[in-house]
Amino acid sequence: MSIREILASKGNRGSALHFPDSSVVEAINIMTQRNIGSLVVKQGEQMVGLLTDRHIVRALSKAGGNLSQSLVRDAMETKPILGRLDDDVDSVRRHLTENHISHLPVVDDSGAVVGIISSTTWRAPCSVMSNSKTSSSRNISRIGRKKSKAGPFLISFVVS
């Protein structure tokens, strides 16, 4: 499955914030209203950064718990890793995992941002298992399903 197909199925809730000199509080309000975890920051039509919930937490820590004077420009990532419409799901999962990121802006051939893929867009089956010879007698397993517009994805964690 390609990123183009995933973006088409999830729709576009709008994720752009113009003006990097906007306040972080304004960005938080937009993210809350739209129920999203990231914003593409634009100056005109040009992407100049990415602001995620993670960046906001870091800004909150840096500001001593008060974001009233914090600007998006000071909190955002100015050189985010980008995905392409024809990237396959496995390569995007690798990008997210290897780079410890949760949001990947996707651009078309002209470089225009056309959407964002996040780690919550889908859930991949995964297992975390320890060697049974060295583990304690504690066994924990949890299996759940999460549905999105892109379809159901299985989440499974097993610790032996």
For residue 123, the model assigns a pLDDT of 52
For residue 160, the model assigns a pLDDT of 27
Question: Do 82 and 27 reside in the same domain of the chain?
Answer: yes
For residue 9, the model assigns a pLDDT of 83
Question: Do 77 and 37 reside in the same domain of the chain?
Answer: yes
Taking 80 as the threshold, does the pLDDT of residue 125 lie above it? no
On the 0-12 / 13-18 / 19+ scale of CB atoms within 10 A, 72 is buried
Sign of CA dihedral 39, 43, 46, 47: negative
Question: Do 55 and 11 reside in the same domain of the chain?
Answer: yes
Question: Do 71 and 30 reside in the same domain of the chain?
Answer: yes
For residue 85, the model assigns a pLDDT of 93
> Do 83 and 105 form a contact (C-beta atoms < 8 A)?
yes
Q: Indicate the residue among 101, 118, 135 that finishes a domain.
A: 118
Question: Do 41 and 55 reside in the same domain of the chain?
Answer: yes
Taking 90 as the threshold, does the pLDDT of residue 15 lie above it? no
Question: How many folded domains does the chain comprise?
Answer: 2
Question: Highest-confidence range of 10-19, 36-45, 53-62, 106-115, by mean pLDDT?
Answer: 53-62
Q: How confident is the model at residue 95 (pLDDT cuts 50, 70, 90)?
A: confident
Distance separating alpha carbons of residues 24 and 28, to the nearest angstrom: 6
Taking 70 as the threshold, does the pLDDT of residue 37 lie above it? yes
Distance separating alpha carbons of residues 122 and 112, to the nearest angstrom: 23
Question: Do 21 and 41 reside in the same domain of the chain?
Answer: yes
- Among the residue ranges 65-79, 117-131, 137-151, the one predicted with the least confidence is 137-151
- Per the structure, the complete domain to which residue 129 belongs is given by 123-160
> Do 26 and 20 form a contact (C-beta atoms < 8 A)?
no
Question: Do 99 and 149 reside in the same domain of the chain?
Answer: no
Taking 90 as the threshold, does the pLDDT of residue 71 lie above it? yes
Dig out the tokens for 133 from the structure. Answer: 């010879």
Question: Do 146 and 83 reside in the same domain of the chain?
Answer: no
Taking 70 as the threshold, does the pLDDT of residue 145 lie above it? no
Question: Do 104 and 141 reside in the same domain of the chain?
Answer: no
CATH code at 87?
3.10.580.10
For residue 13, the model assigns a pLDDT of 59
Taking 80 as the threshold, does the pLDDT of residue 130 lie above it? no
Question: Do 131 and 114 reside in the same domain of the chain?
Answer: no
Distance separating alpha carbons of residues 129 and 160, to the nearest angstrom: 6
Question: Do 95 and 127 reside in the same domain of the chain?
Answer: no
For residue 124, the model assigns a pLDDT of 40
Q: Is the pTM of this model over 0.85?
A: no
Dig out the tokens for 110 from the structure. Answer: 């002209």
Contacts of 21 (CB under 8 A, 6+ apart): 71, 72, 73
Distance separating alpha carbons of residues 48 and 19, to the nearest angstrom: 9
Question: Do 64 and 140 reside in the same domain of the chain?
Answer: no
